[in-house]
Structures are given as structure tokens and as C-alpha cells.
Structure 1
Amino acid sequence: MTHESGYFVSALLAGGAAGTSVDLALFPLDTVKTRLQSAKGFWKAGGFSGIYSGVGAVALGSAPIAALFFVTYEGVKYLAKPRVSPQWEPVVHMIAASAGEVGACLLRVPVEVVKQRAQANRQSSSLNEFKHTLKTEGFRGLYRGYSSTVIREIPFSFIQFPLWEGLKGWWSKYQGHPVEPWQSAICGAAAGCFGAGITTPLDVAKTRIMLAEKGSELSQGRILSTLRLVYMEKGIKGLYSGLLPRMLWISIGGAIFLGVFDKARKTVYTLYNKYDEKIS
């Protein structure tokens, strides 16, 4: 076993732990956000009842999605670090985050489709929505909104991860030693909140596309057309539906997600190296 294998094993396990922690802890906020963005409106989509509709999909999907993202993210950083000067590090973080999101969306989108349809229909379940989607739309139905999800995630990652890394770097320099996990969590919360606010219209478009009836104009996945339709229906306010729960969800989620990731990665990496020394 090598230093590199320990690095990637720690990223894999820490990413899975971080993703599951966030998605399950903050699921009710995500449901509120989805119902606010639904074309049916908040109350018709379920209001505050059945707030855990769709949690089954998240329980199954969170760990592998987050693990895939962080293995890709850390892998690109690891490969690029010896080849770039410090001033280019923010660009590396952007590229790494984008690569991670494109890969993670291969798993995230089917989970999101099932989860959001269950969230917007409190009398349904993840399993029922999964079966219904396969029956009516086939396998392609599970990837409804893939492009809109990627287009939402890449700008968000362009903002969140360089800002997170930059804030950690500034704080480390200020105090003269690397940040602690709780400090990383605060940096993650600030970065996530800022990114969430800016990219909310793209999140609204993604939600509308995933929830649209089969054969409708929205189901075609055209982001600009979807944004135009939402604007015509509800104006600027409609484009920012769910803004506060999204910012709150991602702020708290960023703190837990990135804080847990840093702590878990260091812990797993240390244990892995101790185990490696014993068997060497």
C-alpha cells in the first residue's frame, strides 16, 4: 500500500460520511425548498406534512455520490498540485470541483429525480416514484434534468470550493497553522451560503424540469426556456423561490459537509497509515 492509496481511501470514506451526514440531517429543509419551487405551489405539493417523503433515495445515494465527488476532486488536486504555481490554485480548485460534479451527477441525478418527485407528492415514496418513472419514461426518465443539474452545480462549485479553500488558506496564514475542522466548517458555511444565493435560479429551473409532466415543454430540459417561463409566471420572485431554505440548507450543509470531510479525512488517513506501518 502507498501514500497515494491512503490519500484516496481517506477521501472516499470521508466523502461518503460527510454526504450522508448532511443529506439526512437537513432533509426537511430540502423538502421545503423543493415544494416552494414546485409549479403546484408549496401547500399543494404537501406543505409541512410528509416532510421526509423521498428520504429513502437519499439514504441510499448520499454516500456513493459524495464519495465519487471527493475522490475526483481530491484526485485532480493531487495530480495538479506539483505542476502549478500557487497563484493558479483557485483555477485548479474550479477544475477539480467541476470534474467532481460531472462525475457525481451520474449518480446524483437519478437520486434527485426520485427524491424530488416524492417530495412534491407526499402520498408517494421513493420506491413508488422509482417504479413509476421507469414504467412511464424508461431509464432515460431517471436522467431527466442531467444537463440542468450539471449547469447548476458547476457555477456553484466554481464559487464554493475556491472560496472555501481560499478562506481556509487565509485563516491558516492568519493564525500560523492549518485550520481545525470547526474552522473549516465555518469557511464551508460562508462559501456555501454565497454560492447558493447566486445560483438559486438555476436550482429552480432544475427542479421544474425534474418535476414536469412527461411530454410537456419543461420536460425537454431547456434551461433558458424554463427560466423564461418561471419569470413570466412569477417574475423575479419566482426565480428565487426557495432562496432562504436553500441558503440555510447549504450554509448548514456546507459547515457539516466540509467540516466532517476534513475531520474524517484526517482521521481515516492517520488510521490508514498506522495500519499500513503494521503490515509493512
Structure 2
Amino acid sequence: MAEKQISLPAKLINGGAAGIIGVTCIFPIDLIKTRLQNQRTGQQIYKSMLDCLIKTLRSEGYFGMYRGAAVNLTLVTPEKAIKLAANDYFRHLLAKDGMTLSLAKEMMAGCGAGTCQVIITTPMEMLKIQLQDAGRLASQQLMGRVPCSTPGCKLVAVSPVLTRAYNVGPAVLPRKISATQIAAELLHAQGIKGLYKGLGATLLRDVPFSIIYFPLFAHLNKAKQDSLEERAPFFQSFLAGCMAGSVAAVSVNPCDVIKTRLQSMGKGRNEESYNGIRDCARKIWMNEGPLAFLKGAGCRALVIAPLFGIAQSIYFIGVGEFLIELCQYGGLSP
């Protein structure tokens, strides 16, 4: 296919740039997704996606919507580069004499890509979730009339790491936290394994996601193409990434809920702790019902669709051509 003519370093650069642009565009929706997934039945602070957006803007301001974005922007470059390049590598490895890959081999390539990416994804998600959920925990404390003498304490983040027994409710601290502080405290207390809390759940989400996403994208992207060597039009690649990303995201949302719960070290009042994937799934099912596994599914689809639409487009054509094509489709001169 035409994309094989692009060198590996160029693909890594394109993949990294795609991740940065995509994350910048959709991060506020991702924050809402994390907060909706973490709130328990009977303790809802947010009634819906829109309600969460409004309350976050009111209490934390515009920049509060990007809480945790720094760690994502830092690590998304290697994460997306590894994911996209690994899929290409495994597809090339499984291909024979330029023949079209069977669906089974496309799924195997996706499985390999999903497995490779978790080395970056797990610590990235771990740190991001603590920062994204801090506002929800602080709001829950304030709603419970927890004393707070610090002016503007509703804007103060909660430091879950300092609450060593993770099943104990967090405290509203008189300082804001950063990903660097959380990482340093985790490394000091637990070593490198502290950053890889939830590794099994991350694999459980990302491997099936890639198995679904990459074959679906490949088939949608080459639809109506007369030749395998012909590159799909920009807008077709973008839509194929959006559609495949949405389907894959919703399909693995139950795994994403479990991963989010396991990686959230800070707990609100009366919020249970979990001893692994099976215990987490059982408690969610018993205490909140099967629909709890779909929490944040709409947000996740809204996050993944444009993220992978942008990522796939930039990955194959590069940042410069992507911006030119975008201007042309928007009726603007490049």
C-alpha cells in the first residue's frame, strides 16, 4: 500500500504529532468521561455529560477542563507513535508477497499493537486519572460539608497518593498537585510498579480495542478504492478513523470503566476499593447494575472518534498536508 513508502521515523513523527493535536482538541470530553465513570450510584455529583461540563467550568474554570492534560501531551507522542507504527510493522510482518491480509491476520496485527502501547499507556492513564478526578472528589467533600478554611478550596485538588490506605476517603489539601508529585510519591512508596497499577485492566481494554479498530479502519479506508496502491482521500481516512474509533470505543467501554476504577487511588466517602479486575467487575455489577459498565460511553465515543480520525489522517499524510487538506475542505485557502 502507498503508506509503506513512508519511512519509519517519519511515521513515528506523524503519529506523535497526531496524538498531540488530537488530545488538545478532545481532552475536556475525556475529563468528563473519567468523572462520570468514577461516580457511584447514589452519590452522583453530575447528572449528565452537559451537567458535568457546566459544573466543572463553574468551579474550576476553563483551564480546569485541561486538568491532567500536561501528562497526556507529554506521553501521547510515544504512545500514539508506538500504537500506529506497531500495527504497520505487524501487518507488514504477516503479509506475504503484497497479498491482502486476512481478517484474522489484521486482528493479530491489532493485538500486537495494543500490547506494545501499554508500556506508555498505563502510567499515562494512571497519572491522568488522578488529576482528572481530583475535582470530583473535592466537590464531593464540599457537598458533604467537610470543613475547609482555605479560600477557594473548591479549586484545590485532592492528593490521593498521600492517603496511603487507598480505601480511606481523601482529604482536601491546601495545595495543588501535579503529575510529577504523584509520580515521585508513587515511585518512592511502591517503586516502578506503582506507575503500572491497572496494567492488566489496561491490556484488557487496549488489546480488544486494537483488534476491533485496526481491521475495521483498514476496510473502511480502502472502500471504493480501485487499487491497493492508491491512497484513500483525506476525508475518507478521517471518517474511517472516526467510525472505527467510535465502534471500538463503545465495544470496550466496560473494560474502560473497570480500568478507571482500578487506577483511581483517591476514594470519596463510602466508595469501595477493589482487589483486581474480577472483584471490580463483580462489585460494579452487584452494587450499580449492568448499565454502570456503559458509564461514559458517549463521552468515550466523542473522544476517540475525532482523536483517531485526526491521528490516522496525519499519520499517513503528515501535519503540513493535513492542515492544507483541512483548509480546503473548510473552504479556506491553504
> Which of 40-49 and 228-237 deviates more?
40-49
Matched, 1:110 2:120: no
Write the letter of the residue equivalent to 2:308: G
2:85 to 65, 71, 78: 71
Write the letter of the residue equivalent to 1:238: A
2:245 to 182, 192, 211: 192
Offset at residue 205 of structure 1 (A): 0.3
Query: Is the Cα contact below 8 Å between 2:130 and 2:265 reproduced in 1?
Result: no
Aligned ranges 1:128-167 → 2 under 5 Å: 128-167=181-220
Write the letter of the residue equivalent to 1:182: F
Write the letter of the residue equivalent to 1:37: Q
Matched, 1:247 2:249: no
Query: Is the Cα contact below 8 Å between 1:55 and 1:126 reproduced in 2?
Result: no
Query: Is the Cα contact below 8 Å between 2:221 and 2:232 reproduced in 1?
Result: yes
Give the equivalent residue in structure 2 for 1:31: 31
Unaligned runs of 5+ in 1: 269-280
1:54 to 62, 65, 68: 68
Distance 1:166 1:57 in 2: 33
**More helix by proportion, 1 or 2?**
1
Distance 1:42 1:13 in 2: 41
The one-character-per-residue Cα deviations of 1:41-91 (angstroms, maximum 9, x if unpaired) are: 6638995232211111112101011112222111112222235743x4332
Mark the structure with the bigger radius of gyration.
2
Give the equivalent residue in structure 2 for 1:179: 232
Residues 257 and 5 (structure 1), Cα distance of their counterparts in 2 relative to 1, 3 Å cut: closer
**How many pairs are equivalent?**
261
Q: What RMSD, in angstroms, separates the aligned Cα atoms of the two structures?
A: 2.9
Write the letter of the residue equivalent to 1:156: F
Matched, 1:262 2:313: no
Query: Is the Cα contact below 8 Å between 2:27 and 2:69 reproduced in 1?
Result: yes
Residues 14 and 42 (structure 1), Cα distance of their counterparts in 2 relative to 1, 3 Å cut: farther
Give the equivalent residue in structure 2 for 1:273: none
Distance 2:8 2:66 in 1: 33
Give the equivalent residue in structure 1 for 2:112: 99
Identity across the alignment (%): 25
Matched, 1:225 2:279: yes
Query: Is the Cα contact below 8 Å between 1:10 and 1:266 reproduced in 2?
Result: no
Residues 32 and 170 (structure 1), Cα distance of their counterparts in 2 relative to 1, 3 Å cut: same
- TM-score, length-scaled by structure 1: 0.83
Residues 66 and 42 (structure 1), Cα distance of their counterparts in 2 relative to 1, 3 Å cut: farther
Query: Is the Cα contact below 8 Å between 1:181 and 1:262 reproduced in 2?
Result: no
Give the equivalent residue in structure 1 for 2:257: 204
Unaligned runs of 5+ in 2: 47-51, 136-156, 158-176, 323-334
2:96 to 57, 78, 82: 82
The one-character-per-residue Cα deviations of 1:182-213 (angstroms, maximum 9, x if unpaired) are: 21010111111111111110000000010146
Give the equivalent residue in structure 2 for 1:274: none
Offset at residue 36 of structure 1 (A): 0.6
Query: Is the Cα contact below 8 Å between 1:10 and 1:265 reproduced in 2?
Result: no
Distance 1:31 1:265 in 2: 26
Offset at residue 251 of structure 1 (A): 1.4
Distance 1:246 1:136 in 2: 32
Distance 1:25 1:111 in 2: 18
Distance 1:196 1:249 in 2: 9
Give the equivalent residue in structure 1 for 2:45: 43
Give the equivalent residue in structure 2 for 1:7: 7
Query: Is the Cα contact below 8 Å between 1:8 and 1:75 reproduced in 2?
Result: no
Write the letter of the residue equivalent to 2:45: W
Residue 121 of structure 1 aligns to a residue whose secondary structure is helix
Query: Is the Cα contact below 8 Å between 2:110 and 2:212 reproduced in 1?
Result: no
Offset at residue 133 of structure 1 (A): 2.3
Distance 1:80 1:265 in 2: 29
